[in-house]
Amino acid sequence: MDTLASPSETQKTCLSAKQSSRTIGLVPTMGYLHEGHLALVRRARAENDLVVVSIFVNPTQFGPAEDLERYPRDLVRDLALLTEENVDVVFTPDVSGMYPEQPATFVEVPGVSEVLCGASRPGHFRGVASVVTKLFNIVQPDRSYFGQKDYQQTIVIRKMVRDLNIPVQIIICPTVRESDGLAMSSRNSLLGPHDRVKASQLILALKKGEAALLNGERDPLRVAGAIRGLLAETREIFVDYIEVVDAEDLKKKSGISDKDRVLLALAVRIGGVRLIDNLVVNVSS
């Protein structure tokens, strides 16, 4: 496995793979890897000749009051895990390598970036779309792998790729969960033991919303109310948002019809840690 910090060296390695007709799969991450990340890596390994995993905690997607400084990191452990998965290249740029000068060029995807997490994290998806574009230009992957855990991110990236004709296939993998249903996240490591127990309510709340939908509830506000009700039973889960929106365009719906695909999405703060989760429900099922 090659560990490369230099964008130009990584680009050279990837270009020479492409020139010998090898397919490239890219898994962008911020490191502190868990089974959710590794599921993406395994899928990439199964589908491509060259697997590139990037590890970069991208400062431009963090707001000034957010957790950039305390975002968990453990490069040694990450590299050991990726060696086990037979990854070919790990791209680990530092901030000055990715941003040698103040960037003036950004990729913005208004609309789908402005709701849900975008509403409470202004500039977040601009940072994500811009750094993913840089990664696509450096690695030139045939396929890139993203988790449903960050559902809105997948919608933003897909829209960006379509709008800009970026020649990459975006592959979305299901959310990997702990045994109690908590979606795996690097940020889970920041939770104290009591808060970790509270965090297991998130999936139960989403399932409550799903059950309401499947039992015939068609008012999105009442579905969101069912989710909110369950979370309210646990003290000190601070809700950022609970949204019931169209799963394709993330738009609010006045009513839900039987053939809709609906996204139930939430963001909360528990013990100062921001957690997100979601479920996609095919109402007809």
- How far is Cα 26 from Cα 9, in angstroms, rounded to an integer? 16
* 156 touches ligand AMP (CB under 6 A): no
Helix H or strand E segment including 144 = strand 143-147
Q: How far is the CB of 186 from ligand AMP (least distance, A)?
A: 5
Contact present, 97 and 16 (Cβ < 8 Å): no
Binding-site member from 147, 160, 245, 274 for ligand AMP (CB under 6 A): 147
Question: How many residues belong to the site for ligand AMP (CB under 6 A)?
Answer: 17
* 37 touches ligand AMP (CB under 6 A): yes
Binding-site member from 92, 186, 188, 278 for ligand AMP (CB under 6 A): 186
Task: Return the structure tokens found at 256.
Answer: 């839900």
* 146 touches ligand AMP (CB under 6 A): yes
Burial of 1 (0-12, 13-18, 19+ CB in 10 A): middle
Closest CA to 124 of 136, 108, 137: 108
Binding-site member from 78, 150, 243, 260 for ligand AMP (CB under 6 A): 150
- Convert residues 222-241 into a mask of x (bound to ligand AMP by CB under 6 A) and - (unbound): --------------------
The runs of H, that is alpha helices, within 201-274 are 201-214, 220-232
Considering only the stretches 181-189, 226-234, 249-257, 276-284, report the one whose residues sit in contact with ligand AMP under the rule CB under 6 A: 181-189
Residue (29 or 140) nearer to ligand AMP, CB? 29
* 92 touches ligand AMP (CB under 6 A): no
Specify whether 124 is catalytic.
no
Residue (62 or 99) nearer to ligand AMP, CB? 62
- In the chain the first and final C-alpha atoms are separated, in Å, by 44
- How far is Cα 127 from Cα 276, in angstroms, rounded to an integer? 18
* 30 touches ligand AMP (CB under 6 A): yes
- How far is Cα 132 from Cα 54, in angstroms, rounded to an integer? 10
Beta-strand runs (E) in 7-74: 24-29, 50-55
- How far is Cα 93 from Cα 149, in angstroms, rounded to an integer? 24
Residue (39 or 245) nearer to ligand AMP, CB? 39
Residue (133 or 175) nearer to ligand AMP, CB? 175
Q: Which residues are catalytic?
A: 37
Could you list the residues that contact ligand AMP (CB under 6 A)? 29-30, 36-37, 39-40, 146-147, 149-150, 173, 175-176, 183-186
